Amino acid sequence: MNIMKYTLLILTILLVSSGIHAQERVVTELTNGWKFSKGTNEKAFENDFNDSKWQNVTVPHDWAIYGPFDKEIDKQIAAIEQNGEKVATEKTGRTGALPYIGEAWYRNQFSLPNFDKNKKVILLFEGAMSEPKVFVNGQKVGEWNYGYNYFYFDITDYVAANGKNSLAVHLSNLGLSSRWYPGAGLYRKVKIIVKNKESIDQWGTFITTPFISPDLAKVTIKTKVSGENLRIITKIKDAKGIEVATNENSTIFGNEFEQNIAVKNPHLWSPENPYLYTATSQIYVGDVLKDETTTRFGIRSIKYEANKGFSLNGEVRKFKGVCLHHDLGPIGTAINKAALRRQLTILKDMGCNAIRSSHNMPSLEQLELCDEMGFMFLAESFDEWAKPKVKNGYHRFFDTDAEKDIVNLVQATRNHPSIVMWSSGNEVPDQHGAEGVKRAKWLQDIFHREDPTRPVTVGMDQVKATLASGFGALLDIPGLNYRVHLYEEAFGKFPQGFILGSETASTVSSRGIYKFPVVKAQSKQYDDFQTSSYDLEYCSWSNLPDDDFVLQDDKPWVIGEFVWTGFDYLGEPTPYDEKWPSRSSYFGISDLAGLPKDRFYLYRSRWNTNDKTLHILPHWNWEGREGQTTPVFVYTNYESAELFVNGKSMGIQRKNNATPQNRYRLMWMDVKYEPGTIKVVAFDTQGNRVAEEEIHTAEKPYQIKLEADRTNLEANGEDLAFVTVSVVDKKGNPCPTATQQLNFSVTGKGTYRAACNGDATSLEQFHLPTMKLFSGKLVVLVQSTSEAGEIELKVTGIGLKTAKIPLKSN
């Protein structure tokens, strides 16, 4: 082909494809141009269109994360019944001590350049915290109570054909409405979709893969449409973008097309090989193209069978999962894909293969990443049904909203191959009583109606009650929260033939903090409001990781576990619910900044079967403890190892069955502290020395050290680099007890976004460019702007050598 022809061809393709998108369907994200005002009264702003003095914000936005932390916010005088409390006491920090309570307005203007009488306009919210009431051009178009759900309105009849339209959203958060930090505001995306009247309905596509063999998969695509005399053409492309199948169909059942399409030699989706296909469906009237959507999907099979357990693509496997709340630490709940990706990258390295979105709908971004990066997903819906846990919780809406909330959850997310299970509830008080049994069945039936391909669980803590009432027996998957002592009984009595650890462990620890003497302890408190990283402390209802490992390893009918939690989260500062200052959790395997605690390596040593783990704790800077007993633990997938303190052997330890801890940890309980070096040498099964690790007593903090998770950002105004900041001594040894105040500045095409040190008792505001180190570390978040270029983060601290790190964005 000569150059002239080639250029023309490209031009034609460009014209045709831009034409398609300009006419058929235009999706606009409303990110910029928002005005925000936090007020007290809905009426105050409803008719006042002068928003010139309102704050300019971008969406996603969390109005409460900027603080300040305040003990009085959402102070609750309550007995937390789920925790077994009988007497009401003052609880502070339960929802993060951040100002999420109150009412607020968001306003924006949007235009619809391609709008005419043949078009339909959809306004989509991927979540709004909470109780959003939505107005277009001054008229109310609808409302949605549950802050965690996705919802949309058809606003065709409210928009003006030409010129600007105004959008106003009123939000309201009541106190006593949550058990953790819920965030506040338009914290997920807002989109406007303009399409033809003849088009594919919102969430109208449902793709399943009911038959899979090595040489053939049946891909069933049901597509709900609006309009008359329609014809559908669907093309399936593989991960490389090569078309592998196509199907045309003009038979419509009611308003639904059903296409069964053969994909030859299918690549199956799994955590190890998260292979994704796309299906592009086009709707025609005659020869005129009316709509086009592309849906990503995976080909995979799931099965849950008595005595066999869970299998993916025919292979039995267990969930090595974590529960996650939706906040992203220092940036709060404002959804950010880079922050989510970093969490999943950390979890992947730990060997984690599954996520539970406790206790509500996951963000669509998180599901997309789980599809791409390979995580199985337990998508949860509610923390309350009709009976309350907190005074102003979801029970207020349950009767009227539960069905439509489930419908939206399922319809918006069902094409994600990562989702392998739904959950209709977590520890709902309705586990007690006959009404609760009916509700469990009602909700499960709604899930089944909307998605016949996935089972439903409930995280049950009232196991005895659910054994007696039939509640547990009717569930597709009986999920036990904690209650390791009841697994056997539940397996014996429930009919399903397997048990899921829907929530496990709830061990507490503070990164880099170790307490002596080293003993197992329940609900232990210390004067500094920290918990010990020897990983031996838990709550009255919970247990240590090793207790779960025993069940996972010894009981083939246990199908896996979801640890509470993968990361610390804002709020629920157990065991210091009654202590101030303490405003975030201690349950995380990694801290609020995403920095791994020691427990990370305990899970990694079991779950990551590709890489070796050899991790020593505690740190070795114990001035004042000379000669005192300072036990050393090693988390490793080697069976045995020898410990040396300043070259002197402390003997060989071998994993054994004396206690659950002995089975999964190597522990030298009698080591006396002396400054210097501790070294561990690991042996293979033949007794060969195969790996070693050592840590040193650090001298005075000397210089700041910076390590970025990524140095190349996207110049999109929202990408983030997470820079771990630590201090080291003159020889480069990390200083594990350093607490210096550091200052941050960002120059070039980036901005300082936030910092976090993982200290649950810190009241420093995340968005201010200064923070103290906690256990020698913190993390700084640098955000790209929409302009590409060089970025530099500089970190200074009194008496410390300054550090700079170059980043860039494209």
- Euclidean distance between the first and final Cα of the chain, in Å? 34
The residue among 514 and 564 lying less far from ligand GAL, judged by its C-beta, is: 564
Residue 446 burial (10 A CB sphere; 0-12, 13-18, 19+):
buried
The CA-CA-CA angle for residues 333, 335, 339, to 5°, reads: 100
Which CB atom, from 506 or from 533, has the smaller least distance to ligand GAL?
506
DSSP states of 399-449: HHHHHHHHHHHHHHHTT-TTEEEEEEEES-GGGSSHHHHHHHHHHHHHHHH
Q: Using the Cα atoms of residue 704, residue 327, residue 531 and residue 649 in order, give the sign of their dihedral.
A: negative
**Among candidate residues 550, 548, 528, the one with its CA nearest the CA of residue 538:** 548
In whole angstroms, the minimum distance from the beta carbon of 419 to ligand GAL comes to 20
| Complex with ligand GAL: residue 532 or 542, whichever CB lies closer | 542
> Of all residues in this chain, which one has the CB nearest to ligand GAL in the complex?
506
305-364 residues near ligand GAL, rule: CB under 6 A = 358-359
Inter-residue contact 681 to 652 (CB < 8 Å): no
Nearest distance from C-beta of residue 432 to ligand GAL, angstroms? 15
One residue of 398, 564, 638, 744 binding ligand GAL per CB under 6 A:
564
Complex with ligand GAL: residue 60 or 429, whichever CB lies closer: 429
- Residue 426 in contact with ligand GAL, rule: CB under 6 A: yes
Q: Report the distance separating Cα 19 and Cα 35, nearest Å.
A: 33
Q: Do 422 and 447 contact (CB within 8 A), yes or no? A: yes
Contact 110, 137 (CB under 8 A): no
CB of 759 to ligand GAL, least distance (A): 20
- Give the residue among 141, 61, 68, 138 at the shortest CA–CA distance from 104: 61
Q: Which of 28, 82, 453, 716 binds ligand GAL (CB under 6 A)?
A: 82
Binding mask 266-285 for ligand GAL (x = CB under 6 A): --------------------
Q: Which C-beta is closer to ligand GAL: that of 381 or that of 542?
A: 542
Per CB under 6 A, contacts with ligand GAL among 788-807 are none
Looking at the Cβ atoms of 208 and 574, the one nearer to ligand GAL is 574
In residues, how long is the chain? Answer: 810
From the CB of 586, what's the least distance to ligand GAL, in Å?
10
Pick from 506, 608, 637, 783: which binds ligand GAL (CB under 6 A)? 506
The minimum distance between CB 83 and ligand GAL, in angstroms, equals 7
Nearest to 35 by CA among 64, 59, 17: 59
What is the smallest separation between the CB atom of 89 and ligand GAL, expressed in angstroms?
A: 17
| 148 near ligand GAL (CB under 6 A) | no
CB within 8 A of 550, min separation 6: which ones? Answer: 660, 663
**Binding positions for ligand GAL, 379-418, rule CB under 6 A:** none
Catalytic residues: 427, 503
Q: Which of residues 166-225 bind ligand GAL (CB under 6 A)?
A: none
What whole-number distance in Å separates Cα of residue 393 and Cα of residue 458? Answer: 18
CA-closest candidate to residue 379, choices 329, 428, 442, 321: 321
Q: Which of 88, 112, 138, 120 is nearest to 30 (CA)?
A: 112
Q: What's the rounded Cα separation, in Å, for the pair 431 and 459?
A: 10
Q: Are 642 and 680 in contact (CB under 8 A)?
A: yes
State the minimum distance, in angstroms, from the CB of residue 498 to ligand GAL.
21
User: Within positions 751 to 770, which residues make up the interface with ligand GAL, using CB under 6 A?
Assistant: none
Nearest to ligand GAL of 274, 575 (CB atom): 575
Q: Is 547 in the site for ligand GAL (CB under 6 A)?
A: no
Q: Is 539 an interacting residue with respect to ligand GAL (CB under 6 A)?
A: yes
Rounded to a whole number of angstroms, the minimum distance from the CB of residue 481 to ligand GAL is 5
Cβ neighbors of 348 (< 8 A, separation 6 or more) are: 373, 374, 375
Instruction: Check binding of 427 to ligand GAL (CB under 6 A).
Output: yes
Q: Identify the sign of the CA torsion 706, 710, 711, 717.
A: negative
The reply to whether 461 sits near ligand GAL by the rule CB under 6 A is yes
Strands 712-713 and 720-728: unpaired
Question: How many residues of this chain interact with ligand GAL, rule: CB under 6 A?
Answer: 14
Does position 584 interact with ligand GAL (CB under 6 A)? The reply is no
- Establish how many alpha carbons lie within 13 A of residue 520's alpha carbon, considering only the half-sphere containing its beta carbon: 10
* Closer residue to ligand GAL in complex, CB, 182/309: 182
Rounded-to-integer distance, Cα 322 and Cα 318, Å: 13
In angstroms, give the least distance from the CB of 387 to ligand GAL.
Answer: 15
Give min distance, CB of 615 to ligand GAL, in A: 24
Q: Which is nearer to ligand GAL, 564 or 580 (CB)?
A: 564
- Chosen residue from 202, 462, 481, 543 binding ligand GAL by CB under 6 A: 481
Considering the complex, state which of residue 257 and residue 382 has its C-beta at the smaller distance from ligand GAL. Answer: 382
Q: Which residues bind ligand GAL (CB under 6 A)?
A: 82, 358-359, 426-427, 461, 481, 503, 506, 539, 542, 564, 572, 587
